[in-house]
Structure 1
Amino acid sequence: MNLRIFILAVFFSCVSFAQKDNSSIVDSVKFYLKNSNRNMSDIGGRLKNAKRAKKLSEQYDLDSLKLKSYLELSSIYFDNNKNFKLNINYDDVLLLKDNHKALKLAIRLNDSLSLAEVNKNLGYYYFDISVDSAYYYNNKAEKLYRNLKDNFTTALVLLDIALLQKNDKDYTGSEITSITGISLLDQLDESDEVIMYKSYFYNNLGILFKELSQFDESIKYNLKAIDLKKRLKGNNTMLIDNQKNNLANVYKNSKDYDLAIKYYNEIFENKNLMAERPDFYAIVLDNYAHTLFLSQNYEQLPGLFLKALRICDSIGDSYKTIVINQHLAKYYNFKNQKDSAKYYAYRAKDIAYPNYTDNLLESYAVIAEVEDDSIAVKYYDQYITLNDSLIKNERATRNKFVRIQYETNKIEEENIKITRERMWLLITSIVLIISSFLIYIVIHQRNKNKELKFIQKQQEANEEIYNLMLNQNESVEEARALEKKRISQELHDGVLGRLFGTRLSLDSLNMGTTPDAIKTRGQYINELKTIEHDIRKVSHELNTDFVAGSGFVDIINTLVETQTNVYNLKYKIDHDGAINWDEISNKNKIHIYRIVQESLHNIYKHANAKKIKISFKLKNDVICLLIEDDGSGFDVHKAKAGIGLKNINSRIKEINGTLDVISEKQKGTTIKINIPT
């Protein structure tokens, strides 16, 4: 008992220690996650803490904390790309790998919020890599955030979708998505973030309506975007300047050159623009110069174009030089300086090929414009071929987003169907398991009832034997009482009467000295000797309990005699008189009786014996029961134990005895049973 208590104490101590240790690890991971929060400005420190949280949570397999670590790392990566552009040690491959781990964990943990965030992150990751993948993940994220009633984040995802649609020239789809996003933001309280993202939607609408040449609509949305950006807290000059540039471009395309120049000049009022944002300054300068060219104001040309080109070359931004080169080619062609026009036209074409298809198309048009005859025709044909290809792609794109959404919905429906089927399978399995369990219980209970009935019958049989033994004991006691009564009568009527008569005769002869008296006295003395012998005999008979222990022995003798008569067997029984059966418990005597009975039955049924021998001996307080037969015997190593032998074994175990079976084929069987008294 003390050992058991000690083991339990050690076990619970270990469990308690493990829980404390695990709690310490969880606290450490939470600490690192807290110190990697996006509100902190040190992105390097954030990354370091997030990596520590990831390492610990993976090492100790803490699923929920692993998921938080992956999401935190993603937020650090995207914040860095959006704002800082630092060379942090967390590459694209690792980001993608961790996001897919997070995706699996979120599904397994049934964490809808994390699942939505992972899909949003993957959508943002694929934005510039794969339009189809970006739209697929954004579409899933949008549905999840809608189900979570998170209007703000739903709008953020819709903005990415709208930009994807606009970039692939699905202007109608982009317009619908943008309006949907704005309507969601309109339902929220106006915070800086809500105002900022609403301005982004208006900016997108302004751009796509400009592409559709619906300039009035484009101007309206650009003005709304400028108004919203002016309402933002802090210094928002950069955002406002970007929007003014977009608005000025719309006025330029609508040939309202004066208003376009007005907004360009408002941007140039920022004297630090060149130093702070040289790339943007070059773009605005080129747009301004192009507007002057279109308005036939050539005084500052081509100087402004060349200045913008030099700025882009100095910062290594070749992409932005494509349009500047195109504008220079058109200017020099207008000035009839063909060599310069061709130089800049071909330079624009070379930079645009093969990655910037829209710019390449415009470059072909410019070359066709500045070249002569067959070369112009050649590039015009290339322009037509590329334009046809782009139109086909645009037509395909218009249906692509619908197809992706349809396929996504179809996958979701299939997942719902699979989930439903799994649920029904689970319910069916549970019903089958419960039914099987109930059937097992019923069968087990029936078997138990049969077992109980068998035990009850066995108990009744044991009681019958016990009653038989009691009756036998009563008969023995009755015989004993009768015998004592007989001896008492013998003493009283016989010996005592004779003693009394002899005593009276001796009293009369006590004083006589005659020969006759002496002779007579001698006769009486002999008579006294005879009486003494009779008394000794009676005393001996009284001292010998001739029926002691004879009750159980008689029961065994009766059983063996009855059974052997029925089975047509010859028998011999040896009883050791040293065994005091009165001191043996009734339980042991009942089991001995049953063992002898079962053995006789087995001998008759299986052995084909003619003779049996049964002996009871007492050795070192152990009753040794030996049952021998001259039957056919069997191989004890190969033969399967029957019910009879199993019953004997069961009874021997009940009385803490031992069993040894010795048998050979055609040589009979000997059963040795040792029973402690």
Structure 2
Amino acid sequence: MKSTLHTIHSSSFILLLIVCLSLFSCKEEEIKTINQVDIDLGYSFQQNADSLFSLNKLEDAFNKYLKSNQYFSNTGSDTSITYNNLRIASIYLLIDDPNSAQELVTRELPNIDTKDNSFKVYIYNTLAICFTELEDYQLANTYYDQSLAFSTTETEKNILKNNIASNYISSEQYDQAIGILNTIINDESTNNTPVLKARILNNLGKALYKKDPSKGLEQLLEAYQIRLKLKNNEDINRSYLSLAEFYLLNNNLKEAYSYANKAYIQTAKTDYKKDKLLALGLLIKTQNKQNSLYFSEYIDLSKAIYSESLKTKNQFAKLRYDFDQHLQEATKLKIDLQQSELISAQNKNAFLFTLILLVVGGVILSFIYYKTKQRHRLEKIQQSYLTETRISKQIHDELANDVFNVLTYIQNFNLEAAETKKHLLLDLESIYNKARNISLAHSSVTTDETFATYLTTLFNEYSTDTCQIILSGIDSFDFNCLDKNQKITIYRVIQELLVNMKKHSMATIVVFKFSENKKMLQIFYSDNGVGIIQEDLKTKNGLLNVETRIKNIGGSFTFDYENKLGIKYNILIPKKNYV
């Protein structure tokens, strides 16, 4: 038996508020809907379920809430469905099934911002109770704090703070519990609510004696006296248990046995089996004689509680399963009926028209698909050819002559000489670096979140002591606004411009400026090289490739060839949502 079971009863006032909200405010808003019959039936089953719940007829109430949800689901009455789900969650908690309760209430979290504050209080409070029962006290207190944020009355707030303190006691954080309880113990709303006053006093006494066994008796006795006046048997029994535990910690076995025995006698008259189990546990600890009698009863009662709890959980799980199956079948039958009515309503002319339209559309789409496929195939062949030609030219221009020179060098010089070996190694390293650069130029392009870093690495590879590359705006630009193909195109285009710069421009300073607006990305390039003559543009395959790539993704590529010093390129690329 956990010390937090009282939180279920402490949220009763919240339930009453939501009953009023659900039965009156929401009903007035939904009463004008078309599905009036379903709405009326939903409220009828809901009110019936509330009555059964108050009489502790949990199984019947459970069924009625499910039935009410079935009718409300047909009308979009989300507020009423939320109310029913929270009541079902309360039933799950009462039968010791916090996992099912937590799973059900968690479904309400995605739309919680649209709900009334009273619902927010109840949802977060119920989740807190669930995690308290699951002994996750830290998460439970997180939800209690969220519930506290939406509470409107001091009584509500003090109840929630008392629950938070109770969890601190369970997690052995006694100072935190004492601090909270001392702030609310003499509050006006607490003094006006004797039941709450007694519970706060009892929790304060427990926190004190668990921290220091010599303290807390005064608070426990005061709580006990209040409960005697209120004649609340369940809370009186809690006082017996707390007092028995206090005296047991102080080795006063006589008083401990006295209160434990009172709790045992009290629970024997009621159905408080878990409290009875706690009383038996305390009796076993306080008695040196007749232990076997109490111990045997303790074991038997533990088994009975476990068996009864398991049986009840399985029973309610079957009820939920049967209801879901019935609901699925009803939904399927309804859909089938609608489809049958739709099919029977179609006439012959509409069918023929649809058939002709499909045939004509199919022919047109097939033709378009064929032409598009052919065009893409030709473009791929052409692109492959251009790529192969470019690689072949690079190998010839950059590697073949160097390899030939190395072979000639090997034939004409003594390889045993140290200077000869050093010269040969330098030549081979140069050939390796050129081959590596050709490989990197045609390798796959990284297009994930590291694209900006990947692109910066490309710039660094071309930045040398004789040529400085200046970047502007690349760190602040969000490349996630571009799709994969756009990123690949940008990389290849910049790579092509850098290759042309290195081979032809003799520039010492190169500037790349990145900027953007709502729809477009702009890349501006300029250098202080030798520039380019307009007549030479037709022979610049690299620039033609750049222009083709940019146009293929819906962009534009312009350049200033009239500039006598250096050259300027301007690239505009649409963001992926505006292509």
User: What TM-score comes out, normalization by structure 1 length?
Assistant: 0.43
Larger RCO (CA within 8 A; separation ≥ 6): 2
Larger of the two Rg values belongs to structure: 1
